[in-house]
Chain A
Amino acid sequence: MSTVTDKRDILGELTAQKQALSISLPTSKTEEYRFTPVVRVLEKSFPKGFIGGEKKEIKSIEEYLIPGLDAALLVVIDGVYSKEFSNIGKEEAVSTTSSNDPFAVMNAAWSKGAISINKSDKPVLVLNLNTGSVPSVHNRITVKVEDGASISIIQKSINISSSPVFQTLSEEISVGESARFDLYKIQNSANLIEVGNTSINQVNSSHVNTFTLMLDGTLVRNNLTISIDGENCESHFHGLSLLKGETIGDNHTVVDHLKPNSVSNELYKGVMDDKSKGVFNGKIFVRPHAQKTNAFQSNRNILLTDQATINTKPQLEIWADDVKCSHGCTTGQLDDEALFYLQSRGIGKEDARAMLLYAFAMQTTELIANAPLKAHIDSLISKRLYEGQ
Chain B
Amino acid sequence: MLKIDNLQARVAEKQILNGINLEVKAGEVHAIMGPNGSGKSTLASVLSGREDYEVTGGSVSFLGKDLLAMAPEDRAREGVFMAFQYPVEIPGVSTINFMKTALNQIREHRGQPTVDAVSFLNLMKEKVKLVEIDQSLLNRSLNEGFSGGEKKRNEIFQMAMLEPKLAILDETDSGLDIDALRIVSNGVNKLRSRNNAIIVVTHYQRLLDYIVPDFVHVLYKGRIVKSGTKELALELEAKGYDWIKNEMASV
What residues of chain A have their CB less than 8 Å away from a CB belonging to chain B? 335-338, 340-349, 351-352, 355-356, 358-360, 362-363
Task: Provide the bound-state CA to CA distance between A335 and B93, in Å.
Answer: 13
B48 proximal to A (CB < 8 A): yes
Task: Provide the bound-state CA to CA distance between A351 and B71, in Å.
Answer: 14
Given contacts A343-B73, A344-B82, contact A351 B105 (CB under 8 A): yes
CB distance from A327 to the nearest CB of B (A): 20
**Could you list 12 A-B pairs, sorted by A, with CB under 8 Å?**
A340-B50, A341-B88, A342-B90, A343-B49, A343-B72, A343-B76, A344-B49, A345-B99, A345-B102, A346-B76, A349-B71, A362-B92
> In the complex, which of the residues A336, A349, A359 contacts B73, with contact meaning CB atoms closer than 8 Å?
A349
CB distance from B169 to the nearest CB of A (A): 13
Q: In the complex, which residues of chain A have a beta carbon less than 8 angstroms from the beta carbon of B73?
A: 343-349, 352
Task: Provide the bound-state CA to CA distance between A362 and B102, in Å.
Answer: 20
Question: B80-91, CB under 8 A of A: which get 1 and which 0?
Answer: 011010011011
B245 proximal to A (CB < 8 A): no
Q: In the complex, which residues of chain A have a beta carbon less than 8 angstroms from the beta carbon of B77?
A: 346
Q: In the complex, which residues of chain B have a beta carbon less than 8 angstroms from the beta carbon of A344?
A: 48-49, 72-73, 75-76, 82, 84
CB-nearest residue of chain A relative to B161?
A345
Interface pair A341/B109, CB less than 8 Å apart: no
Interface pair B88/A348, CB less than 8 Å apart: no
What residues of chain B have their CB less than 8 Å away from a CB belonging to chain A? 48-51, 71-73, 75-77, 81-82, 84, 87-88, 90-93, 98-99, 101-103, 105-106, 109, 141, 158, 162
CB distance from B45 to the nearest CB of A (A): 10
Task: Provide the bound-state CA to CA distance between A352 and B51, in Å.
Answer: 15
Given contacts A344-B76, A345-B98, contact A360 B92 (CB under 8 A): yes
Task: Provide the bound-state CA to CA distance between A363 and B91, in Å.
Answer: 10
Task: Provide the bound-state CA to CA distance between A351 and B93, in Å.
Answer: 13
Instruction: Select the residue from A335, A338, A341, A362 with max chain B CB neighbours within 10 A.
Output: A341
| SS of A interface (majority) | helix
Q: In the complex, which residues of chain B have a beta carbon less than 8 angstroms from the beta carbon of A340?
A: 50-51, 72
Q: In the complex, which residues of chain B have a beta carbon less than 8 angstroms from the beta carbon of A362?
A: 92
> In the complex, which of the residues A336, A338, A351 contacts B90, with contact meaning CB atoms closer than 8 Å?
A338
CB distance from B111 to the nearest CB of A (A): 14
CB-nearest residue of chain A relative to B159?
A345
Task: Provide the bound-state CA to CA distance between A42 and B166, in Å.
Answer: 60
> In the complex, which of the residues B71, B84, B87, B93 contacts A343, with contact meaning CB atoms closer than 8 Å?
B71
Q: In the complex, which residues of chain A have a beta carbon less than 8 angstroms from the beta carbon of B51?
A: 336, 340
Q: In the complex, which residues of chain B have a beta carbon less than 8 angstroms from the beta carbon of A338?
A: 88, 90
Given contacts A340-B72, A343-B76, A344-B49, contact A359 B90 (CB under 8 A): yes
CB distance from B49 to the nearest CB of A (A): 7
> In the complex, which of the residues A335, A337, A351, A363 contacts B101, with contact meaning CB atoms closer than 8 Å?
A351
Q: In the complex, which residues of chain A have a beta carbon less than 8 angstroms from the beta carbon of B84?
A: 341, 344
Q: In the complex, which residues of chain B have a beta carbon less than 8 angstroms from the beta carbon of A355?
A: 93, 98, 101
CB-nearest residue of chain A relative to B102?
A345
Instruction: Select the residue from B82, B84, B93 with max chain A CB neighbours within 10 A.
Output: B93
Task: Provide the bound-state CA to CA distance between A337 and B45, in Å.
Answer: 12
Q: In the complex, which residues of chain B have a beta carbon less than 8 angstroms from the beta carbon of A345?
A: 73, 76, 81, 98-99, 102, 158, 162
CB distance from A367 to the nearest CB of B (A): 15
Instruction: Select the residue from B87, B90, B109 with max chain A CB neighbours within 10 A.
Output: B90
CB distance from A319 to the nearest CB of B (A): 35
Task: Provide the bound-state CA to CA distance between A356 and B91, in Å.
Answer: 9
CB distance from B106 to the nearest CB of A (A): 4
Q: In the complex, which residues of chain B have a beta carbon less than 8 angstroms from the beta carbon of A349?
A: 71, 73
Task: Provide the bound-state CA to CA distance between A43 and B87, in Å.
Answer: 52
CB distance from B100 to the nearest CB of A (A): 10
Instruction: Select the residue from A336, A347, A362 with max chain B CB neighbours within 10 A.
Output: A347
Q: In the complex, which residues of chain B have a beta carbon less than 8 angstroms from the beta carbon of A363?
A: 92
Q: In the complex, which residues of chain A have a beta carbon less than 8 angstroms from the beta carbon of B158?
A: 345
CB-nearest residue of chain A relative to B77?
A346
Task: Provide the bound-state CA to CA distance between A349 and B71, in Å.
Answer: 9
Task: Provide the bound-state CA to CA distance between A336 and B50, in Å.
Answer: 10
Task: Provide the bound-state CA to CA distance between A337 and B72, in Å.
Answer: 12
Task: Provide the bound-state CA to CA distance between A360 and B92, in Å.
Answer: 7
Q: In the complex, which residues of chain B have a beta carbon less than 8 angstroms from the beta carbon of A358?
A: 92
CB distance from B157 to the nearest CB of A (A): 12
Task: Provide the bound-state CA to CA distance between A363 and B49, in Å.
Answer: 31
CB-nearest residue of chain B relative to A357?
B92
Task: Provide the bound-state CA to CA distance between A337 and B50, in Å.
Answer: 9
CB distance from A254 to the nearest CB of B (A): 29
Interface pair A337/B71, CB less than 8 Å apart: no
Task: Provide the bound-state CA to CA distance between A343 and B88, in Å.
Answer: 13
CB distance from A352 to the nearest CB of B (A): 7
Interface pair B162/A346, CB less than 8 Å apart: yes
Q: In the complex, which residues of chain A have a beta carbon less than 8 angstroms from the beta carbon of B76?
A: 343-346
Task: Provide the bound-state CA to CA distance between A351 and B92, in Å.
Answer: 15
Q: In the complex, which residues of chain A have a beta carbon less than 8 angstroms from the beta carbon of B109?
A: 346
CB distance from B152 to the nearest CB of A (A): 14
Task: Provide the bound-state CA to CA distance between A363 and B73, in Å.
Answer: 27
CB distance from A116 to the nearest CB of B (A): 40
CB distance from A40 to the nearest CB of B (A): 37
* Besides A344-B75, A345-B98, 13 new A-B residue pairs in contact (Cβ under 8 A), listed by A number: A336-B51, A337-B88, A340-B72, A341-B90, A342-B93, A342-B98, A345-B81, A345-B158, A348-B73, A349-B73, A355-B98, A359-B93, A363-B92
CB-nearest residue of chain B relative to A337?
B88
> In the complex, which of the residues A335, A336, A337, A347 contacts B105, with contact meaning CB atoms closer than 8 Å?
A347
